[in-house]
């Protein structure tokens, strides 16, 4: 099969759905990771300790979890496209509002409101793409969507490199309002999936969607998938929220002491590995299965995090960074396909929103725990928890079934 035949075989609606979900997720990453890129500057300006800065990151994740739960239900009832548009508007507006903060409390409120929109985008976008692409190519399509996170992260680093030294951290946040414009394109060009429209006339009422996610035949599986995802999200946020600050802080503060532009350069270079990991995972899992690919990525990520946290040499960090990002993030491409293949259409977005965002609630402790431990024991010790979280996620996969090849109802 030609390399891009899978794209050409798809319908126009499927391709537009993929573009919409990809850009929505890219802009989500852009807005959310602006905080990580300017964290060292915000801490100095507002007088925040590492533990407080980590707590704000945790509050954002908790809010995103609730946003994902709410927007998952909205997506099942009112449409994947509708939920995606409102989530993008919310996170765009409140990212820009962060630049107006004059106190830690004010910044915390805006980060919480931003998180509500951030959580909603993934559930709606994953359902939209899952339902418009065939099982044969679903992993590839969702891999492309997930890879856009790396592009958004790199874009945030690039904006910070240009804006931060000249206009300061407030101007960096103001750039976050741009994604709101993308909702106009979604409204005009993206249609709801046929499978959702056919199911809508037989929709459920009340909290029936969430109840079915916990039906007797699904409760054990839901718990396992949620716990596995909580471990991976704990590892991702505990590492990625602190890497820019870790690279920027002075040696006395426990960091590497790089300039803002050099720090941004290392972070951007890491995103190359992250993007390749996201895309590769989709192709590999479509070939060898979700389970084996997930476990291989998670175990390898645990090894590379230990290597990364054991060196302070900028050149070594430059070389290791893309490998940490490749294996330490690529597995997320498989989560949308896995949950789409485990749950039926009438509760798919609700199930995806619950399993992903409840994992976020658990993982919300990661920025606070890593920051607090770094304050006392140093970043090397705190990053060791990341490796343990990766290994725990790999272990849970023993009880999660393989779903490769399943067609959606």
Q: Which three-class secondary structure string do you get for 354-400?
A: HHHHHHHHHHCHHHHHHHHHHHHHCHHHHHHHHHHHHHHHHHHHHHC
Judged by phi (left if over 0) then psi (alpha if -120 to 50, else beta), residue 311 lies in beta
Examine the pLDDT at 380 and tell me if it is beyond 60: yes
Examine the pLDDT at 375 and tell me if it is beyond 70: yes
- pLDDT score at 206: 46
- pLDDT tens-place string over residues 56-73: 887 887 888 888 778 877
Which residue's structure tokens are 């890879």?
Answer: 147
Residues 86 and 71: beta-carbon distance below 8 Å: yes
Which residue's structure tokens are 């949950």?
Answer: 339
- pLDDT score at 304: 95
Examine the pLDDT at 211 and tell me if it is beyond 80: no
- pLDDT tens-place string over residues 71-115: 877 877 787 888 888 888 888 888 889 888 888 899 999 988 988
- pLDDT score at 172: 87
Examine the pLDDT at 208 and tell me if it is beyond 70: no
Residues 132 and 11: beta-carbon distance below 8 Å: yes
Start-end of H helices in 168-218: 169-174, 182-189, 194-200, 208-213
Residue 74 CA: distances (Å) to CA of 80, 191, 243, 338, 364: 8, 16, 34, 21, 23
Examine the pLDDT at 249 and tell me if it is beyond 70: yes
Residues 169 and 38: beta-carbon distance below 8 Å: yes
Pick the CATH number of 15-190+206-399 from 3.40.50.970, 3.40.50.720, 1.20.1250.20, 1.10.3720.10: 1.20.1250.20
Residue spans of the domains in the chain: they are 15-190+206-399
Read off the pLDDT band of 336 (50, 70, 90): confident
**What pTM value is reported for the model?**
0.73
CA atoms of 179 and 42, how far apart (whole Å):
23
Give me the percent of the chain exceeding a pLDDT of 70: 94
Find the length of the chain.
409
Q: In which element (H, E) is residue 245 found? A: helix 243-248
CA atoms of 383 and 310, how far apart (whole Å):
10
For 308, the token pair is: 């990364």
CB atoms within 10 A of CB 315: 8
Judged by phi (left if over 0) then psi (alpha if -120 to 50, else beta), residue 79 lies in left
Examine the pLDDT at 1 and tell me if it is beyond 50: no
Greater confidence (274 vs 389) lies with 389
Which residue's structure tokens are 């259409």?
Answer: 345
The stretch 153-167 carries a mean pLDDT of 86
- pLDDT tens-place string over residues 278-327: 888 878 988 888 899 999 999 999 999 999 988 888 889 999 999 999 99
Examine the pLDDT at 338 and tell me if it is beyond 80: yes
The stretch 270-277 carries a mean pLDDT of 88
CA atoms of 330 and 271, how far apart (whole Å):
11
Greater confidence (194 vs 16) lies with 16
């Amino acid at each position: 099969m030609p390399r891009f035949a899978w794209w050409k075989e798809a319908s126009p609606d499927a391709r537009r759905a993929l573009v919409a979900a990809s850009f929505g997720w890219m802009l989500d990453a852009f807005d959310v990771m602006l905080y990580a890129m300017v964290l060292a500057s915000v801490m100095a300006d507002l007088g925040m300790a590492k533990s407080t800065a980590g707590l704000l990151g945790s509050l954002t994740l908790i809010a995103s979890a609730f946003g994902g739960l709410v927007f998952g239900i909205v997506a099942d009832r009112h449409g994947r496209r509708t939920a995606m548009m409102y989530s993008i508007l919310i996170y765009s507006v409140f990212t820009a509002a962060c630049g107006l903060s004059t106190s830690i409390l004010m910044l915390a409120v805006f980060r919480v409101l931003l998180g509500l929109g951030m959580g909603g985008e993934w559930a709606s976008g994953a359902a939209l793409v899952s339902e418009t692409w065939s099982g044969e190519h679903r992993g590839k399509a969702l891999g492309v969507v997930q890879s856009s996170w790396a592009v958004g992260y790199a874009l945030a680093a690039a904006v910070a490199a240009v804006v931060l030294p000249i206009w300061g951290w407030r101007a960096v946040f103001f750039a976050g309002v741009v994604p709101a414009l993308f909702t106009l394109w979604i409204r005009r060009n993206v249609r709801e999936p046929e499978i959702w429209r056919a199911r809508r006339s037989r929709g459920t009422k009340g909290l029936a969607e969430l109840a079915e996610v916990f039906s007797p035949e699904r409760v054990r599986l839901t718990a396992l998938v949620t716990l596995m995802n909580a471990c991976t999200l704990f590892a991702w946020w505990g590492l990625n929220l602190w890497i820019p600050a870790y690279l920027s802080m002075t040696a006395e503060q426990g960091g590497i002491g790089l300039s803002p532009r050099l720090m941004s350069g290392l972070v951007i270079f890491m995103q190359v590995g992250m993007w390749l990991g996201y895309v590769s995972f989709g192709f590999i899992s479509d070939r060898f299965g979700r389970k084996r690919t997930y476990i291989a990525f998670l175990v390898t990520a645990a090894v590379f995090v230990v290597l990364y946290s054991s060196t302070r040499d900028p050149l070594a960090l430059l070389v290791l960074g893309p490998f940490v990002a490749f294996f330490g993030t690529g597995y997320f491409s498989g989560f949308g396909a896995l949950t789409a293949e485990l749950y039926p259409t009438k509760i798919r977005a609700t199930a995806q929103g619950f399993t992903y965002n409840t994992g976020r609630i658990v993982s919300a402790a990661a920025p606070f725990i890593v920051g607090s431990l770094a304050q006392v024991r140093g970043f090397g010790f705190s990053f060791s928890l990341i490796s343990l979280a990766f290994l725990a996620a790999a272990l849970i996969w023993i009880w999660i079934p393989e779903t490769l090849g399943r067609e959606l109802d």
